[in-house]
Structure 1
Amino acid sequence: MRIVGLTGGIASGKSTVSNLFKASGIPVVDADVVARNVLKKGSGGWKRVVAAFGEEILLPSREVDRPKLGQMADGSIHINWYLLEILKQWAKGAKVIVVDIPLLFEVKMDKWTKPIVVVWVSQETQLKRLMGRDGLSEKMPETE
């Protein structure tokens, strides 16, 4: 089985590339989806994270504050969850699996993936895409 790493910055076009793989019948494990599912309020992953990091890791809604968790934890805590999803696809008979992980190198998943596809666009294009996607403007909001 070949595990292809797919990475790139925000609004770089990873989703477009990911959809091309999916359209070709290649399974894609999306790290963001895996992380959201693993950390759902009340789930086993949620309970383990709260036990490890305490209640301060939670938002007022009792959901895990994922950015805060990312700052507090070694990125490798997600590796087992990603690998579990990869193994599920392998068990279904997939010969090639794409793992879409924006922070591929930071969580050291690059040692598990070959080849690695990096999606890159110019900073200008990235900013334009991000503003269009999230309804943002380039102008900074005024402060009091």
Structure 2
Amino acid sequence: MRVGLTGGIASGKSTVARMLVDLGAVLIDGDALAREVVQRGTPGLAAVIEEFGEGLLTPDGDLDRPALGQLVFNDDDARKRLEAIVHPLVFERYAALEAAAPEGGLVVHDIPLLAETGRAGDFDAVLVVDVPRELQVERMLCDRGMSADDAASRINAQATREQRLAIATHVIDNSGSLGALRERVEQVHAELLTAA
């Protein structure tokens, strides 16, 4: 069964992904693939530098992710140009990894921007990890050391909470305790296996 997993920044999506792996799911991580396709020496990095300039390279020749983040999270046009480069490369890797996964289980695609890409219909189920915006901001300030302006710009660059909830077949609330989250993930996992 192909499952899309998404959630806004600082929603706890990565925690949910780890729990699903613990329960036996195969995880294909969109964030990891997005980093992989722009590593040093890749055609993806070359395309990003061609589009945005060599100022986005570290002295070692890697992508300066914080500098790129500053650029694209404050400029919708720049973000769309970056997505036009990275998204097709990531989707290529998704397809290759999915083809290699064993049959009969859950293949969970961790896709931060699932609502934005309009690909929810590609999956048998869509899990949305949901928290209120205030909790996202609090986590970004406390856990990630971001400024309030950076937190707001990153949240505003993503789909709204309502847009994510609109594509959900299963909502996983992560505004409570870790134990409550684990219980909900186990429940959803069991439902998905039954449906598969």
Deviation string, structure 1 residues 11-46 (Cα, Å, up to 9, x no partner)? 111011111111112111111110111111221322
Structure 1 gap segments, 5+ residues each: none
The number of aligned residues is 137
C-alpha distance in 2 between matches for 1:128 and 1:50: 33
In structure 2, the residue matched to 1:9 is: 8
Q: How much is the aligned-residue C-alpha RMSD, in angstroms?
A: 3.0
Moved over 6 A (4+): none
* Residues 29, 86 of structure 1: 8 Å contact kept: no
Query: TM-score by structure 2 length?
Result: 0.57
Please give the secondary structure, in 2, of the residue aligned with 1:47. Answer: helix
C-alpha distance in 1 between matches for 2:115 and 2:84: 10
Deviation string, structure 1 residues 78-101 (Cα, Å, up to 9, x no partner)? 145334334324324143211111
C-alpha distance in 1 between matches for 2:106 and 2:138: 33
In structure 1, the residue matched to 2:141 is: 131
In structure 2, the residue matched to 1:19 is: 18
Deviation string, structure 1 residues 59-110 (Cα, Å, up to 9, x no partner)? 1425273664633245585145334334324324143211111110212321
Pair 1:91 & 2:100 matched: yes
In structure 2, the residue matched to 1:110 is: 120
In structure 2, the residue matched to 1:101 is: 111
C-alpha distance in 2 between matches for 1:77 and 1:110: 18
Tell me which amino acid in the other structure corresponds to 1:91: A
* Residues 6, 129 of structure 2: 8 Å contact kept: yes
C-alpha distance in 1 between matches for 2:109 and 2:120: 10
* Residues 28, 98 of structure 1: 8 Å contact kept: yes
The structure with higher relative contact order (CA 8 Å, sep 6+) is 1
